[in-house]
Chain A
């Protein structure tokens, strides 16, 4: 059976090495940033996590915040999947592949963020079921690692099937793909819900121990994921022959306005509960928005997130600003930044400040943490870039087994 696998591999490698000056500048910038990340990580591995700003009082920080945010990006891929495959909706049919590739890159980044946060990353095999001792009984982290791995494999199978079929100039098999896609919808919701439960289930941290956390996670993810896609679509239709209709982008933006409203509503509900009931548990919210006794390093971020979210909501709600690409792009960037703060620093740090015995340790990411994070983001961007380099020509019919020969 001739699968044309050889042509596919050789052709793909060739594609990766062909590109404009902009492509090479982008790839080499990413490689340099990755190298900086690796060097920083090496310092952390040699000296221990003391090179981060985390301490016993604030034992999770920037890495776990970034992890949480990226899970949301990965989960949001399903927002494109649902209408495209189920309703066979033309304008975004092809670009769903781009969403799924984004999910794959995002999950890889999630796993890297977990790995760099671990004291003993070389012991990750302890988590492999059957070989190690993954404790699926009660540990949410165990379930989360399983769900993320499953989601990664699922997306990989769907994408590679569709693309490889297209490479062989064949339609993808609806019999196999549709059930897998249907499965990826609950799987996407599951990874983000389980990640929310990771915090939600911790009674020791009142800031997280709120039932609103999982719905809020989903709402904010469904704004931030498409925010990236909106910008990406514009880049791709400029740099490739890929045609993405304005209608697809505007529809996404409209959906984002609704999810952002829901996200802001939940944030408001949460703040009301803390402020009005005025129990001792309000201190965490107070720390985020006002600071405590002069400890106010993250206060600007708390407010920036809310301001960004509100401005973006208005820009996406009003049809005139939604359909103007300048205001649309400003809105997309603001949503991305707003949710990034909300789910990273704005979620993790107040959860730990003050700590369980009332001590205030002011956390702010160290240089090592920031550089390693930059390295991981660059790794994600590089994976995504390289995958697109092969996927887009396949989608366009420019790269298939006949042309590769």
Chain B
């Protein structure tokens, strides 16, 4: 026991002591995001920026933008329009500083056979034809469904993940233990783990980041789609909505009767994935035409 305990503890302990680096020490003892007061948060954000400067040699700004009042974000996806081009997948990777090696994708596009209908078990995520859409197929992109009744949040033993007032399920990457219970609990495969240290080419780093969103992550923590929290809290569309060449992706405030998403819900027929699990996603699929 002692051998293994010493082995594991020393990895944290030795690097902590031998470096005598106050930033590292503070990082180790940092409290969970929601427990930080205004001054502590400011110090944490500055420390993170210093650390990123050292690691990536880039002036990355880390913000902690508060949610807007009377806003609950919702997403719409028009299955009749999606052509399976995966532009959303790669726009998301660039916007959200996902690792390029090993590759991390927050969005998965599933190819379905028209003969079988929307059938997850017979879908293919690795389709690779000359041209999309492929004859006889349609496409279903899947990402975090931002559930109202999120099973991933429920299982976390240390509250490293929670639902924000604007409905976005976020992760505190500095509090996450990397136990991956949330990954086994998610019915949509939305959560990704950093199995190795993420690699992002310096020139491709998005320097406009949020603490609970797209700031660069370390190895050993879980991450996921946040509806581009760094964009939507500034009133912008998520990157995937903006890039979609066929307009199959819709986004808006569920509390606003006039919003695009509410208009779709009123005039089209929407459905959610795996409704029997009672996860109550805020991600609505529909057939626009």
Q: Mark B217-233, 1 if CB is under 8 A from A, else 0.
A: 00111100000000000
Residues A140 and B155 in contact, CB atoms below 8 Å apart: yes
Q: Given the complex, which residues of B lie within 8 Å of A134, measured CB to CB?
A: 157-158
A138 to B159, CA, bound (A): 10
Residues of chain A within 8 A of B65, CB atoms compared: none
Q: Is A132 an interface residue (CB 8 A)?
A: yes
B159 touches A133 (CB 8 A): yes
Contacts A124-B177, A204-B277; A48 near B121 (Cβ below 8 A): no
Q: How far is the CB of B254 from chain A (nearest CB, A)?
A: 24
B125 touches A55 (CB 8 A): no
Contact among B12, B191, B197 for A48, CB-based, below 8 A:
B197
**Do the beta carbons of B125 and A357 come within 8 Å of each other?**
yes
User: Which A-chain residue is minimally distant from B197 (CB atoms)?
Assistant: A48
Is A379's CB under 8 angstroms from B177's CB? no
Q: Are A120 and B181 in contact (CB under 8 A)?
A: no
A133 proximity list for chain B (CB < 8 A) = 32, 35, 158-159, 175
A38 touches B221 (CB 8 A): no
Known contacts A145-B157, A358-B122, A126 near B151 by CB under 8 Å = no
Q: Which residues of B lie under 8 Å from residue A357 when comparing CB positions? A: 108, 110, 120, 123, 125, 142, 188-189
- By a CB distance below 8 angstroms, the chain B residues around A280 are 121
The A contact surface, by secondary structure, is helix
Q: How close is A360's CB to chain B, nearest CB, in angstroms? A: 10
Contacts of B1 in A (CB 8 A): 108, 112, 379, 383
- In the bound complex, residues from chain A placing their C-beta under 8 Å from that of B20 are none
Q: Give A115 to B8 CA distance when docked, in angstroms.
A: 8
A48:B220 contact, CB within 8 angstroms: yes
In the assembled complex, how far is the CB of residue A365 from the closest CB belonging to chain B, in whole angstroms? Answer: 15
Do the beta carbons of B151 and A203 come within 8 Å of each other? yes
Please tell me if A45 contacts chain B, counting CB pairs below 8 Å. yes
Would A120 and B11 count as touching, CB distance under 8 A? no
Q: How far is the CA of A135 from the CA of B125 in the complex (A)?
A: 35
* Contacts between the two chains (Cβ within 8 Å), count: 175
Bound together, the chains give a CA A121 to CA B13 distance in angstroms of 11
Tell whether, in the assembled complex, residue B125 and residue A139 are in contact, meaning their CB atoms are under 8 Å apart: no
Q: Tell me if A123 counts as interface (CB < 8 A to partner B).
A: yes
Residues of chain A contacted by B183 (CB below 8 angstroms): 56, 59
The residues in A between 256 and 297 inclusive whose CB is less than 8 angstroms from any CB of B are: 280, 283
Q: Which residues of B lie under 8 Å from residue A135 when comparing CB positions?
A: 156-159
Bound together, the chains give a CA A204 to CA B155 distance in angstroms of 12
In whole angstroms, what is the CA distance A137 to B209 when docked?
32
Q: In the complex, which residue of chain B has the Cβ closest to the Cβ of A140? A: B155
Residue among A55, A114, A126 having the largest count of chain B Cβ atoms under 10 Å? A126
Residue B236, interface by CB 8 Å: no
Q: How far is the CB of A49 from chain B (nearest CB, A)?
A: 5
For the complex, what is the distance from the CA of A201 to the CA of B185, rounded to whole Å?
9
From residue B179, how far is it (CB to closest CB) to chain A in Å?
6
Contact yes or no, B184 A59, CB < 8 A: yes
Task: Provide the bound-state CA to CA distance between A201 and B194, in Å.
Answer: 25
Interface of chain A residues 310 through 355 with chain B (CB within 8 A): 351-352, 354-355
- Does B102 make an interface contact (CB < 8 A)? yes
Which of A108, A116, A141 has the most B CB atoms < 10 Å from its CB?
A141
Would you call B132 an interface residue if the criterion is a C-beta within 8 Å of the partner chain's C-beta atoms?
Answer: no
Does B127 count as interface, using CB distance less than 8 angstroms? Answer: no
- The 8 Å CB contact of B3, one of A38, A141, A359, is A38
Residues of chain A contacted by B137 (CB below 8 angstroms): none
User: Is A142 part of the contact surface with B, judged by Cβ < 8 Å?
Assistant: yes
User: Is A49 a contact of B184 with CB atoms below 8 Å?
Assistant: no
Cα separation A37 to B281 with both chains bound (whole Å): 43
Whole-angstrom CA separation of A53 from B60 in the bound complex? 33
Which of B4, B32, B156, B185 touches A379 (beta carbons < 8 Å)? B4
| Residues from chain A with Cβ under 8 Å of B175 in the complex | 123, 126, 133
Interface residues of A in 85-140 (CB under 8 A from B): 108, 112, 114-124, 126-127, 132-135, 138-140
Cα distance, A354 to B35, chains bound together (Å):
39
From A376, which residue of chain B is reached at the shortest CB distance?
B4
A362 to B185, CA, bound (A): 20
CB proximity of A1 to chain B, nearest CB, Å:
29
Shortest Cβ gap from B110 to chain A (Å): 6
A-side contacts of B11, CB under 8 Å:
42, 45, 121-122
State the CA gap A114–B155 with chains docked (Å): 16
Chain A residues with Cβ below 8 Å from B159 are: 133, 135
Is A222 positioned at the interface, with any CB of B under 8 Å from its CB?
A: no
Indicate whether A50 reaches chain B with its CB closer than 8 angstroms.
yes
Given known contacts A356-B187, A357-B120, A139 and B108 CB-to-CB distance under 8 angstroms? no
Query: 9 nearest interchain CB pairs?
Result: A119-B178, A119-B220, A122-B12, A204-B187, A50-B195, A50-B196, A142-B157, A59-B183, A141-B157
B residues sitting closer than 8 Å to A (CB atoms) are 1, 3-5, 7-9, 11-13, 28, 32, 35, 102, 108, 110, 119-123, 125, 142, 151, 154-160, 175-181, 183-189, 191-197, 219-222, 277-278
Task: Kindly list 19 other residue pairs between chains A and B, CB separation below 8 angstroms, not including A116-B8, A135-B157, A203-B187.
Answer: A37-B4, A42-B11, A49-B193, A55-B195, A56-B183, A56-B192, A59-B193, A118-B220, A119-B177, A119-B178, A120-B176, A122-B13, A126-B32, A135-B159, A139-B157, A141-B179, A204-B151, A354-B121, A357-B120
Pull 25 A–B residue pairs with CB atoms less than 8 Å apart, ordered by A. Answer: A35-B3, A45-B11, A48-B196, A54-B195, A56-B189, A56-B193, A57-B189, A114-B179, A118-B178, A120-B178, A120-B220, A122-B9, A124-B177, A133-B35, A138-B155, A142-B157, A201-B155, A204-B184, A352-B184, A356-B186, A356-B188, A357-B120, A358-B119, A358-B121, A375-B4
